[in-house]
Structure 1
Amino acid sequence: MSLKKILIIGPFPQPTTGVSLANKVVYDQLSRGAAYRVSSINSSFPDFNEKLGAISAKKLWFYLKLQLSFYKVLGKDILYLTPGQTFFGVVKYSLFILMARITGAQIIQHIHGNFLGRQYHMLTGIKKLLFHHLMSQTDKGIVLSDSLKPNFEPFIESEKIYSLKNFVIDELFLPQQVIAKKEYNKLQIVYLSNLMEEKGIFDVLAALKILKEKGISYQARIAGNISSEKTHEFDQLFADLQYTQYVGVVDVQQKKDLLLWSNVFILPTYYSMEGQPISILEAMATGNLCLVTPHSGIPDIFVEAENGFFVEARNPASITNALEKLSSNPDEMSRIGKHNYSRAKKHYRVSHFTDNLKRIINS
């Protein structure tokens, strides 16, 4: 097999998101060995803002400067893109897609959410035509699971659409004997995602307040990025929750320690861009029971009463009820947590992800 030159374009850490982490892993894994020569362009906008898809003057200038790198497509065999799912999220890569089509480079687009198809159907006129033209240049489309394939169906044939399971980085997999000693005798709750309304953070905090008022013992730690304009609001909310601690943005070691400490992971997301939050898999891999919503592609990786329990979006009482039941059933927490560890270890390793990605690239 001849050496393939691959250009990866998309967000890389920092900030760390599911997409930026995945791109880093793709870059690191494909760079090993002699089969691929990999280069990258980081399209990650440095400022976190909850209003994804919104265009500011600063963001516009950032992406205009990014266009100057379009020449890097020259000489590449493959353009691997992880575009956004809004009109602007796709159009900002226009020059790179055009250059790849001119030079004959294969275009692989990897979508990490479930909004792309909906965005296309919401568009009209010239914007819809441009969006369709750009996405239809895709030679291979990748989604996180089969239920997300309809996002590519308006643009390419079904045989060109591939499912690729997400992964948990190796650093988060702990030895069996460590998980065996994990404590499940009291509620130790973690929220690990950006603190965005649609991710369900306000519902989590409201549920914890109810739990406190009911006198149910718990500890909770909240980790993730906060948009600057929401800092004061969250400061006030955390001040009212004696047993809840905001720990900020965490690195890999801090995340490992946090997820080893916790035994219940909560993410009641209804985020419009959601695909399959990688944090759910990370929680499973570290022996946590999960409370999540049946939103987007989550049911493809989550079975009720096997991996945890579904809660209702925008319903703090639903979260409180689930936590209240768990507080009196530590044996069930332990059973599910340890099952999740075994399942994640079997199905969601970086090696599995890499091998399957290589099969798609080489198909």
Structure 2
Amino acid sequence: MNFKVLILCPSFHEKGGVTYYYSLVSKHFNSTAVDIDLYHTGKSGKNCTWLAGAYKTLKDLFLLLKIIPDYDLVFLNPSLDAKAVIRDGIYHLISKRLLNKKTLVLFHGWDPSFEHIISSYGKYVFRFVFNFDKALVLASQFKNCLVRWGFSPSSISLETTVFEQNTLTNNNDIFKLLFLSRFTKDKGGLEAIITASILAHEFPAVKLYMAGDGEQMPELRQYVTQHNLDSIVTFTGWIDNQAKWDLLNMCGIMIFPTKHGEGLPICIIEGMGAGLSIVTRPVGGIPDLMKDGENGFLVETSDPADFACKVKFLFENKKIWNRIMINNRALAVQKCEIRNVVKRLENYLLELLA
């Protein structure tokens, strides 16, 4: 009889990295020893009201109390932020303290300001609530933090986010730049546009594709119009599936000047998988995956001039750009392709359940 694992994750109607992760896990996880079921927690639909969200959370609590006893292990997927820690902390208390189930916790995002609050005032409470059997984190700095809070180093492993490899071409154009993310101030969309405008003065062939949507879209469009950048910058809107891979296969360099509390951004993984050189910042798990100069460049600041300098170097050293393309495709498949990730997940589960 197979072990039964319950995975708590967002609805597939939601956009975001965790949703994408588990859409691929549900598609590719195939074990002869472990059966997984997904339970979608949290809000359902972008127009969900506060009241509807509260009702859904209460409904989740009652249903989970009913169904968790049927499982051998509960797999939770919070980020380290106030809302997720409170919600998933309750689910973890129910699973571990109340129902005595084994737990695996994968921390996807990580808010440095909330980390500081826990470090200062709440690490003992956090350790009581999340007394997991094993945790997976997306950055070595996150593991170091959990160890400082009193968790055993042997109970924490470094993992990655995922992508699903698609058909690759060799049509990548070094002068086509890509920003692929939500449009929020801390993701660096405006800095990406300014970077492209700086480069276009010296390299007229430069084009920047802004792929995504979000609250900053009106501001970004206004900036492009006011600075006469319409011939340089193209907004694609939110894209996924084949349309996203067509764009990845067309572009040559990804620029991502993020200041967000990142885990390991899927856009970085997908860009590497398509062979793009990555010019980004050393935040979250990014420096655990990519090496400066080998997979692209890690820029300490978010200053567009600094980003433009690194991109210009690639423009002027195409042999290095070609070498990075080969490196990135190989590394992304080895570390992050979903078929390899689900094998590691199965091993974690079997270690806990055996």
TM-score when scaled to structure 1?
Answer: 0.85
- CA distance in structure 2 between the partners assigned to 1:3 and 1:299 by the alignment: 38
In 2 relative to 1, CA 334–83 (structure 1 residues): closer, same or farther, beyond 3 Å?
same
Partner of 2:160: 165
- CA distance in structure 1 between the partners assigned to 2:102 and 2:58 by the alignment: 24
- TM-superposition CA deviations, 1:225-281 (whole Å, max 9, x none): 312xx3422321233422111111112111110100100011111212x12112112
- TM-superposition CA deviations, 1:61-116 (whole Å, max 9, x none): 54344334322212111110001311221111344223312222111110123437
In 2 relative to 1, CA 68–224 (structure 1 residues): closer, same or farther, beyond 3 Å?
farther
In 2 relative to 1, CA 357–124 (structure 1 residues): closer, same or farther, beyond 3 Å?
closer
The answer to whether structure 1 residue 109 and structure 2 residue 97 are counterparts is no
Partner of 1:146: 140
- CA distance in structure 2 between the partners assigned to 1:169 and 1:194 by the alignment: 20
Residue pairs, 1:1-363, within 5 angstroms:
2-30=1-29, 32-43=30-41, 45=43, 59-70=53-64, 71-101=66-96, 102-115=98-111, 119-123=114-118, 130-135=125-130, 137-153=131-147, 154-170=149-165, 172=166, 174-175=167-168, 178=169, 181-184=170-173, 186-214=174-202, 216-227=204-215, 230-239=216-225, 240-242=228-230, 243-272=232-261, 274-363=262-351
Question: What letter is aligned with 1:244?
Answer: V
- CA distance in structure 2 between the partners assigned to 1:286 and 1:78 by the alignment: 35
- CA distance in structure 2 between the partners assigned to 1:105 and 1:236 by the alignment: 52
In 2 relative to 1, CA 334–77 (structure 1 residues): closer, same or farther, beyond 3 Å?
same
- 3-state SS of paired residue (2:70): coil
Question: What letter is aligned with 1:360?
Answer: Y
- CA distance in structure 2 between the partners assigned to 1:125 and 1:348 by the alignment: 34
In 2 relative to 1, CA 222–29 (structure 1 residues): closer, same or farther, beyond 3 Å?
same
Tell me, yes or no, if the aligned pair for 2:163 and 2:338 is still in contact at 8 Å.
Answer: yes
Tell me, yes or no, if the aligned pair for 1:9 and 1:43 is still in contact at 8 Å.
Answer: yes
- CA distance in structure 2 between the partners assigned to 1:95 and 1:43 by the alignment: 12
In 2 relative to 1, CA 269–90 (structure 1 residues): closer, same or farther, beyond 3 Å?
same
In 2 relative to 1, CA 139–345 (structure 1 residues): closer, same or farther, beyond 3 Å?
closer
- CA distance in structure 1 between the partners assigned to 2:91 and 2:40 by the alignment: 13
In 2 relative to 1, CA 244–62 (structure 1 residues): closer, same or farther, beyond 3 Å?
farther
RMSD, aligned α-carbons: 2.7
Count of residues paired in the alignment? 344
In 2 relative to 1, CA 123–269 (structure 1 residues): closer, same or farther, beyond 3 Å?
same
